[in-house]
């Protein structure tokens, strides 16, 4: 008989929509500004390379904004993978003391030994009910793995 494993994958909801909208807006604005740079009554001469650079800058800024949509948590009976904006961590459940969401915090966190913790940016307070159910599912996996 095989035991069915449950894998939980969590991603932030609202910040992903906001990040994609901002990224699209940046691309549109910088592209329009880049295309309009050639015609200025000020006497300043903008070349094609300046226009292209402006458009490329818009794409680079959009890419930076999209980093906010990167956080993800993947958890199963064995452990938890936490990918935040820049860093990624893997922990076995035996190394995690608890999953918490302190009052006033922007996101959940994993409590580790020696008073350390790792932020779980995929579970954000602005997602309200989704954050509550996400923390509950992580706590259930943690409880099951530790017993």
The set of residues, in sequence order, having a beta carbon less than 8 Å from that of 1 and lying 6+ positions away, is: none
Concatenating the DSSP letter of every residue in 67-80 gives: GGG--EEEE-SSEE
CB-based burial, 75-109: b 16+ in 10 Å, e otherwise: beeebbebbbeeeeeeeebeebbebebeeeeebbb
Q: What pLDDT shows up at residue 147?
A: 81
pLDDT at 28: 97
pLDDT at 5: 67
Report pTM.
Answer: 0.79
pLDDT at position 36 is: 85
- The one-digit pLDDT tens for each residue of the chain (147 residues) are 344 568 899 999 999 999 999 999 999 999 999 888 876 677 777 888 889 999 999 999 999 999 999 999 999 999 999 999 999 999 999 999 999 999 999 999 999 999 999 999 999 999 999 999 999 999 999 998 888
pLDDT at 2: 41
């Amino acid at each position: 008989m095989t035991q069915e494993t449950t894998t939980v994958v969590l991603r932030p909801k609202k910040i992903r929509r906001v990040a994609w909208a901002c990224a699209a807006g940046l691309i549109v604005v910088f592209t329009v500004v880049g295309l309009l740079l050639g015609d200025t009554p000020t006497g300043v001469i903008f070349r094609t390379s300046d226009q292209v650079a402006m458009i490329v800058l818009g794409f680079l800024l959009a890419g930076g904004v999209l980093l906010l949509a990167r956080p993800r948590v993947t958890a199963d009976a064995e452990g938890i993978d936490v990918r935040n904006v820049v860093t990624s961590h893997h922990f076995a459940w035996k190394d995690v003391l608890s999953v918490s969401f302190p009052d006033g915090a922007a996101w959940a966190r994993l409590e580790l030994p020696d008073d350390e913790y790792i932020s779980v940016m995929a579970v954000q307070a602005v997602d309200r009910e989704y954050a509550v159910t996400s923390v509950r599912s992580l706590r259930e996996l943690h409880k099951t793995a530790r017993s």
